[in-house]
Amino acid sequence: MQELTGNKSLEEKLLETEILIKVAQVANSSLDLREILDTITKIIAESLKKDVCSIYLPRPGNKIYIEATKGLKEEAIGKVFFVTGEGIVGWVARELKYLAVENIREEPRFKDVPVTGASDFLSMLAVPIIRENKLVGVITLQTRGPYIYSQDEINLLTIISYNISSAIRNAKLYRSVKTQLDELKIIHEVGKATTSILTMDELLPYICEEVSKLFHSKGCVLRLLEGENLQIKASYGLPDKIKHAMNLHVGNGIAGWVAQTGKPLLVDNVADMPENLRVPVIEATSALCVPLHIGGRVIGTLGLYDKKGKWGVTVFSRKDLDTLETFADASSIAIENARLYKIEVEKEKKILTLYWEVARTKDYLESLIDNSADAIVTSGTGGLITSWNKGAEKIYGFTEDEVLGKFLPMVPAFLIEKEKQSIEKILQKETVRNVETIRQKRDGQLIEVSLTLSPVLNSAGEVTAISGISRDISEQKRIEKALIRKNQELSKLFFINSVVRSTLELDKLLRMVLTVVTMSDGLGFNRAVLFLVDETQNTLKGVIGVGPESPEEAGHIWLSLAGKSLKSSIDEIEKGHLQKDSYLDRLSRELSVDLDEDCVLTRCIKEKTPFNIRDAGADPLAANTPVQRLGTKAFGVAPLITRDRAIGAIFLDNLFTGREIKDEDLEFLLGFTSHMASAIENARLFEEISRAQAELTNIFESISDMVYFSDRDFTIRNINQAVVEKVGKPAEEILGKKCYEIFHGTDRPPETCPHAKAMTEKKAFVEELEDHYLDGTFFVSSSPIFDSAGNFVGTVNVSRDITELNALRGRVAASERMAALGEMAARVAHEIRNPLISVGGFARRLEKKLDGNLHEMAKIIVEEVSRLEQILKEILGFVRKPKMVRNKIDLVELIDNTLNFISSAITEKGNTLTKDLFPTPIMITVDRDRIREAILNIINNANNATDNGEITVKTVQQGNEALIEISDTGYGIRQEELKNIFTPFFTTGPHGTGLGLTITQRIVQDHKGRIDVESVCREPGGTGEDEHLKQCGTTFRIYLPLEE
C-alpha cells in the first residue's frame, strides 16, 4: 500500500496543472463526445499512473452505462451498466458523493461484472460528475493492488469532473441543436415535396422514405383505409414479399388500433403488447404509429418501427410522437390533395366532354324579357352565355358583346365548381329557386344576388338551355354581411389569443423576449435592442434594450446570474423585480430611423431578411445608422414578421465577449422571432378583441331564435336571452342542466330530437320537431363543434318556434284537400247515380219474378246495388252540406232512443251494450238528425270492430259542455293509423267508404264542438282473456256546447 503525506511538491502541482490544462483543451474541443471521453480517460490514467480510468454516463431507466475506459475491457463500453444504487458506481450516482476504496474485496458495495475485468483491480476511487446539482456521470480510477487515495487526488478528480460535465453538456447541446436543425430541414423539404407531388404513386413512397430517414427508423409503413381494411399503400425498408400479409382489419394490430381509436400509439417493447396488437410477420422491438386525419375522419395510419439509436435499436420518444403527428397532418393534407386532384382531373375530363357535346347543340332559347330590372341570362347546357338582357348589363356591367359565348363571367372563380354542380342539377330538369349567392361585376366588385335557375325544354322535353334570373340583394344583405364579417374577425382573434399563451402586457413581454435573447441559457447574445415600426410616422423606433453598459458591469451581471436559470429570470420579470431603466434601455428609446432611408435596419424591414454585419466601419449599410451610437463593430439584425408583415427588428451583438455572430445564429434566431412577432401583435390586438367580444355578446343576446351550446354530456353551457324567455326560467337555473330536461322534460334525450342525432352522428341535423313539453313546433338546427385537434366537444343549437306557421300550413292544406275530395265526389255521384238506379230497379224486378238459383243471383245483385246506393248516399252526404235545423232537445233522451234503435244489431254480433246516461235531462240546441247520424256512425264502427265484447255509452254534463263517450273492447286502432281516421276515404276494413268518421267530425264541428279519440290496439284473433288484452279497445269523446 502507498500513502501520500506532507505538502504537495512543485512537481506535483505542475503535474496537476498540466493534467487540468490537457483535460480542459480536450473538453472544449470540437471532437465527438465519445472521442472526448476516450481521450480524457487516457490522459488521466497515464498522467496519474493509474491502471484504470473509466467514465460512466446515465441513460433512461435509472441505468448508468460505461461509455469510455482506459484499462477495462473495451467490449464492455456501451453494454455494461449499473442500476442507480447498485455497486460502487450506482451508490455514488445515487448519493452524489465520492467513494474511495482501498481494497474492493473488503467493500460490500462492490458488484463484480466479469465482462469488464474490474475485479482484477483492487482499489477504486469513484467521483460523481455533477452539474447544477444533478448527476451527469461518474468517473473512476483503479489500481491493481490496494491503494489509499489522497485528498489531493480526490480534489483533482473532482475538478476534472467539472470540466467533463461542461464537455458533456456542450456536446449534448450541439447534438440537440444539430438534430433539431436537421429535422426542421427535412420537414421543410418534405413539406415542399408533399405539396408539389400530386400523384399517389409518387407521393406515398416519398413520404415513407423521408419519414424513415428523419426518425432513423428501420422501416416505415403507410396504410390507407378501404372500408374496414387497412391496405399498405407504400413502405420503406419492408420486404415486398411480406407486404400482403401485413394488411390489417380495423382494430387488429397496432395500426388497426390507431385507425379504430383515432389516437397515436407509442410502443417501447412490442413483445409486451397483447397478441392482437403485435406487429404481424416482421420482428420489431419498438414501434410508433399515428393516424392520418382529414378533419375528424381517419383515412389511414403512418407507422415506424425499430428506431436506430446510438447504441442500436432504441425506443421512440414523446418528441418523436409529436413530430410524427405534425408530419402526419401535413401528409394527410397532401394525400387528400392528391386524391382530390385525381377526382378533379376526372371531373374536368367529364365536364370538357359534356361541354363539346352541348356546344354542338343548335336549339337555344331565343326569347327573354329584355327590359326586366332583374338580370335574365340564358346559357347553354355547358354554361356559355347565349343571351344577356339590359337588366344583366345594368347589374353586372358587362355588355352583351363582351359576354356572348363566354362561360359565366359574373361567377367568381371560387364558385365556378359550385356553379357547375348547379348546372348538373338543371340538366336533370330540376329548378333551383331563390338561392342567395355571390356574383362578380365587371369591375371585380362582388355583390349578393337572389338567383333562380330553371331548364328550358324543347318540344321533345329535352333540356336545351338554362334560364337564370338574378336580383341584386346587396343592400339588404349589407348589414348581415357586416355582422358575419365581424364575427369571422373575432373568431380569428380568439384563435390567435389561444395560441399565444403569454402575458398581454407589452412591456413585460418585450423584456421577457430580450432576456431570452441575452441570457446564457437562452440565445446567449451580450446585448439586444428591439425596434418597432411606427406606421403613423413612417419610422422604426427603439422601444427597449437589455444588456450591460461596460465590461465591468457585464462581469458583475454575469456573476450575479451564474446561479440563476432562465425560468427564474422570467419569473422575476413577471413579478416586476428586474431593473427597467438601464443605460441601454434609455439609449434604445432615443434611437429612431426613417423607413425611407437606406440602411441595414430599413433593409431588414423591407426585405424581411436578417443581416449579419461583420465590420460596421467598412459596411456601407451600417454607416449613418442609429446603431452607431451603440459602439459595436459587429452586429446582427433580424426582422419580426407576423402574417407576412414586418412589424419591427431586433438588434444584437457580442460587444463584450467578442464572440463572432454566425449566419447560423441568425437563422436559428428567425425561428424565435416569428413567435415573438405574434406575441407582440397579440398584445396590441388585446384591447380590440375585448371590445369586439362585447359586441359579439350583444349580438348573441339579441338573436330572436333560441341559441344554446351544450357539451358532450348534453349539459347546457351557454344560452341567449331567447332561451330564458321561452323556457320561463332564469339563466342560472338553465345553465349546467341537461338540455333534454330543460327543452323536453325527459330524463334522457328523445331519439327524434335533431340535437340528439347531432350528438350521436357527429354531423349537422336540421329538422322540424313537435315538442309537447314547450307546447309548440320548432325548426331545430344542431351542428357539432370540434376543437382544433378534431375532437368532438359539443353542439351549437338554434331553435325557431314555427307553431303558428305550421298551423296555418295545416289549415291551408286541409282546405285544399277537402275541396279536391268534394269535386271528385260530386263527379262520381253524377256519373254513377242514374245508371245505379236503373240497375237497382231491374234487379229488384228480376228478384221477384225469378226462382231457384237465378233468384239467389238476383238477390245478390240487389244486395250489392243496395250497398252501392248506401256508399253513394254517404258520398253525397259528405259533398253536399245539408242545411241544419236546430231545435232544443234533451240529449239524454236522443242517446237513449238511438241505442234502442241499434241494440238489436249489437246483440246479433254477440256484444253487450252498457248505458251510463246522465240522470237528468241535458238540454242542448242541435240538429237532432245529424247528431243521431254522428252517434250511429261511431257505434256502428264500434260494433264492427268488436266480437263478443262490450260497448259502453256514457253521457255527462261538464261545465258548459255535454260529453258523449262511446267505448268498446274491440281490436283498437294502430297508433300510426289513429292520426288518419278522420281523413276522407281512409279505411282499414274491406267494406265502407272511409267517410263515416269524416262526416261525424264535420257534424260535431258544425255544432262548434270537438271530437277526441284514444285507442289501445291488439291483433285480431286475440281471446281477450289475458289481463293486458282486457284493456284494448277504442274510446270516442264528443264535446258539444250547452245552450247559453
Q: How confident is the model over 783-808, as a mean pLDDT?
A: 82
What is the CATH code for 705-801? 3.30.450.20
What is the CATH code for 361-472? 3.30.450.20
Q: Exposure pattern of 414-430 as b/e (b: 16+ CB <10 Å)?
A: ebeeebbebbeebbeee
Q: Are 237 and 219 contacting, i.e. CB atoms less than 8 angstroms apart?
A: yes
Q: Is 235 helix (H, G, I), strand (E, B) or coil?
A: strand
Q: Are 638 and 608 contacting, i.e. CB atoms less than 8 angstroms apart?
A: no
Our measurement of the distance from residue 533's CA atom to the centroid of its chain's CA atoms, rounded to an integer in Å, reads 37
Is the Cα dihedral 1025, 1028, 1029, 1030 positive or negative? positive
Asked whether the predicted pLDDT for residue 651 surpasses 70, the reply is yes
Q: How far apart are CA 530 and CA 623, in angstroms?
A: 19
Contacts of 833 (CB under 8 A, 6+ apart): 872
Mean pLDDT lowest for which of 96-110, 183-197, 316-330? Answer: 183-197
Q: How far apart are CA 961 and CA 847, in angstroms?
A: 50
Among candidates 257, 340, 256, 325, which has minimal Cα distance to 292?
325
Give the pLDDT band of residue 610 (cuts 50, 70, 90).
very high
Asked whether the predicted pLDDT for residue 883 surpasses 60, the reply is yes
Contacts of 619 (CB under 8 A, 6+ apart): 600, 613
Q: What's the pLDDT score for residue 141?
A: 94
Q: Are 568 and 577 contacting, i.e. CB atoms less than 8 angstroms apart?
A: no
Asked whether the predicted pLDDT for residue 26 surpasses 70, the reply is yes
Q: What's the pLDDT score for residue 968?
A: 93
What secondary structure letter does DSSP report for 883?
A: P
Question: Residue 818 burial by CB count (10 A; 0-12/13-18/19+): exposed, middle or buried?
Answer: middle
* C-alpha neighbours within 13 Å on the C-beta side of residue 818: 14
Q: Are 1037 and 1011 contacting, i.e. CB atoms less than 8 angstroms apart?
A: yes
| Grid coordinates belonging to 857 | 243471383
| Grid coordinates belonging to 101 | 476504496
Q: How far apart are CA 749 and CA 92, in angstroms?
A: 64
Q: Are 1000 and 981 contacting, i.e. CB atoms less than 8 angstroms apart?
A: no
Higher pLDDT, 69 or 279: 69
Q: Are 756 and 795 contacting, i.e. CB atoms less than 8 angstroms apart?
A: no
Q: What is the pLDDT of residues 96-155, one digit of tens each?
A: 999 999 999 888 999 888 888 888 899 999 999 998 888 989 999 999 999 999 998 888
Q: What is the 3-state secondary structure (H, E, C) of 391-455?
A: HHHHHHCCCHHHHCCCECCCCCHHHHHHHHHHHHHHHCCCCEEEEEEEEECCCCCEEEEEEEEEE
Q: How confident is the model over 667-693, as a mean pLDDT?
A: 74
What are the sequence ranges of the domains in the chain?
A: 10-178, 197-343, 361-472, 498-688, 705-801, 815-879, 887-1041
Give the residues across from 960 on adjacent strands.
none
- Of the options 3.40.50.1820, 3.65.10.10, 3.10.20.30, 3.30.450.40, the CATH number for the domain spanning 197-343: 3.30.450.40
Q: Are 142 and 50 contacting, i.e. CB atoms less than 8 angstroms apart?
A: yes
Q: Are 389 and 369 contacting, i.e. CB atoms less than 8 angstroms apart?
A: yes
Asked whether the predicted pLDDT for residue 2 surpasses 50, the reply is no
Strands (E), 712-814: 716-719, 765-771, 776-786, 792-801
What is the CATH code for 10-178? 3.30.450.40
Q: What is the pLDDT of residues 490-540, one digit of tens each?
A: 443 343 333 335 566 667 777 777 776 776 655 678 888 989 999 889 999
Asked whether the predicted pLDDT for residue 264 surpasses 90, the reply is yes
Q: Is 657 helix (H, G, I), strand (E, B) or coil?
A: coil
What secondary structure letter does DSSP report for 76?
A: G
Asked whether the predicted pLDDT for residue 366 surpasses 60, the reply is no
Among candidates 197, 189, 199, 200, which has minimal Cα distance to 224?
200
Counting DSSP H helices and E strands in the chain, the numbers are 26, 36
Asked whether the predicted pLDDT for residue 5 surpasses 50, the reply is no
Q: How far apart are CA 349 and CA 352, in angstroms?
A: 5
Q: Exposure pattern of 221-247 as b/e (b: 16+ CB <10 Å)?
A: bbbbbeeeebbbbbbbbbeeeebeebb
Q: What number of other Cβ atoms are within 10 A of residue 761's Cβ?
A: 10
Q: How far apart are CA 325 and CA 403, in angstroms?
A: 49
Q: How confident is the model over 989-1016, as a mean pLDDT?
A: 82
Q: Are 423 and 466 contacting, i.e. CB atoms less than 8 angstroms apart?
A: yes
| Grid coordinates belonging to 832 | 254513377
Q: How far apart are CA 627 and CA 312, in angstroms?
A: 52
Asked whether the predicted pLDDT for residue 380 surpasses 50, the reply is yes
Give the pLDDT band of residue 740 (cuts 50, 70, 90).
confident
Task: Indicate the pairing of strand 527-534 with strand 645-653.
Answer: antiparallel
Q: Are 528 and 545 contacting, i.e. CB atoms less than 8 angstroms apart?
A: yes
Q: How far apart are CA 456 and CA 385, in angstroms?
A: 14
Q: Which helix (H) or strand (E) holds 641?
A: strand 635-642
Q: What's the whole-number average pLDDT of the chain?
A: 80
Q: Are 204 and 193 contacting, i.e. CB atoms less than 8 angstroms apart?
A: no
Polymer length of the chain: 1044
Question: Residue 935 burial by CB count (10 A; 0-12/13-18/19+): exposed, middle or buried?
Answer: buried
- Domain 705-801 in the same topology as domain 361-472: yes
Q: What number of other Cβ atoms are within 10 A of residue 770's Cβ?
A: 10
Q: What's the pLDDT score for residue 169?
A: 80
Quick one: fold of 498-688?
Beta-Lactamase (3.30.450)
Q: What is the dihedral of CA 423, 424, 428, 432, to 10 degrees?
A: -50
User: What amino acid occupies position 734?
Assistant: I
Q: What is the pLDDT of residues 569-598, one digit of tens each?
A: 656 655 554 455 678 888 888 889 999 988
Phi-psi sector, 985: left (phi>0), alpha (psi -120 to 50), beta: left
Q: What's the pLDDT score for residue 964?
A: 94
Among candidates 771, 772, 770, 768, which has minimal Cα distance to 782?
768
* Rounded (10°) angle between helices 506-518 and 566-575: 160
Quick one: fold of 887-1041?
Heat Shock Protein 90 (3.30.565)
Give the pLDDT band of residue 1025 (cuts 50, 70, 90).
very low
Q: What number of other Cβ atoms are within 10 A of residue 968's Cβ?
A: 26
User: What amino acid occupies position 521?
Assistant: D
Q: What's the pLDDT score for residue 920?
A: 92
Q: What's the pLDDT score for residue 489?
A: 37
The alpha carbons of the chain give a radius of gyration, in whole angstroms, of 46
In the chain, the N- to C-terminal Cα span, in Å, equals 132
Q: How far apart are CA 21 and CA 30, in angstroms?
A: 16
Q: Are 101 and 91 contacting, i.e. CB atoms less than 8 angstroms apart?
A: no
Mean pLDDT lowest for which of 91-95, 229-233, 429-433? Answer: 429-433
